[in-house]
Copies of this chain bind each other. A is one copy, B any other.
Amino acid sequence: MLDFNDSIKFDEKENDLLTVGEMLVDMISADYSEDFECDTYNKFFGGSPANIAMNARRLGIKSIIASAVGKDGLGDFLIKRLEQCGIDTSYINRVDCSTSMVLVTKSKSSPTPIFYRAADYNIVYSKQLEQAVQNSKIVHFSSWPISRKPARDTIEAIIEEARRNKVLLCYDPNYHPMIWEKGHDGLSYIKSIIGKVDIVKPSEDDARRIFGEDTPENQLNKFLGLGAKLVIMTLGKNGAIVSNGRETKKFNTLATEVVDTTGAGDAFWSGFYSGLIKGYTLEKSLKLGFAVSAYKLRYTGAVVELPNLEEIKILFGI
């Protein structure tokens, strides 16, 4: 079904994209520090599914996010950012836990994030969320919600409902052992999820964490072997290889200037989804994804002021 020269025929739906997962405050050190002696941190809006929803909205497609934040000032801050972007925030649960945070101390050697998970995984399944799944063309989720219950159960219910309603199901297998429920076999669970979705976009690091060291081509085949219908494997400055199991294509990076890599993956997803929703072929949609990612790389921040999709097409000659 997912052929490079075909476009995806979506049923008529109210909404284009529903992302499900973490909304976070990113607390990032102002300076580089190898020993955590830095005093000053700056707070940013964060969370990949929220970034994708905002980007997609800026590119001109309808998007909503299902998430959970605390009944606190940081939750208000995150929700306000989405509202400023014109996103319906009624699918965001307000819960009796602190809004989740990731603290990043910038380092020349290895910046190790410290995770403060609380509200984010309290996404509960509801009639309203079920209807949002039914009324969307694409559902996207990340590894954060499947790492802990009750969000894990919610994602399982969403997957079933999406498959019943022919919703395109996409998953970002950004596995990190630090976020996973202790004592739960995250790797085998992720493998089971990969078999239930249509599209996955692992990075080389993701693939290594899930399957161990191997060539990109072999890693692609492992994802396909688990049942994914399209695998987009990103290779950093070497672009990406994409396979539907019948055909594998190499895509060169479109980046000419790299200022900040934060949020480049989220930018890809949003450009790619926008292309699919606009009815472009899979190949052209992938190119649009790589173009939006290349555009984002020129600027600092996880979410930047994206132009609309027509401007992206002109800028990158697509």
Contact = CB atoms under 8 A, between A and B. Distances in A.
A173 to B, nearest CB: 23
B96 A114 contact: no
B43 A74 contact: no
A182 interface: yes
A37 B35 CA distance: 28
Report how many copies the assembly holds.
Answer: 2
B37 A39 contact: no
Interface string A21-63: 0000001001000011111111100000000000000000000
A114 B36 contact: no
A118 to B, nearest CB: 7
A205 to B, nearest CB: 20
Interface stretch (A1-9, A85-93, A97-105): A97-105
Given A27-B27, A101-B116, A116-B116, A73 B42 contact: no
Contact of A70 (B96, B99, B114, B182): B114
Nearest to A41: B41
Contacts of A101: 101, 103, 116
B27 A73 contact: no
A36 B116 contact: no
A99 B114 contact: yes
A189 interface: no
Contacts of A35: 73, 76-77
14 contacts: A36-B73, A36-B74, A38-B43, A39-B42, A40-B40, A40-B43, A41-B43, A70-B114, A72-B114, A73-B112, A96-B182, A98-B115, A99-B114, A116-B116
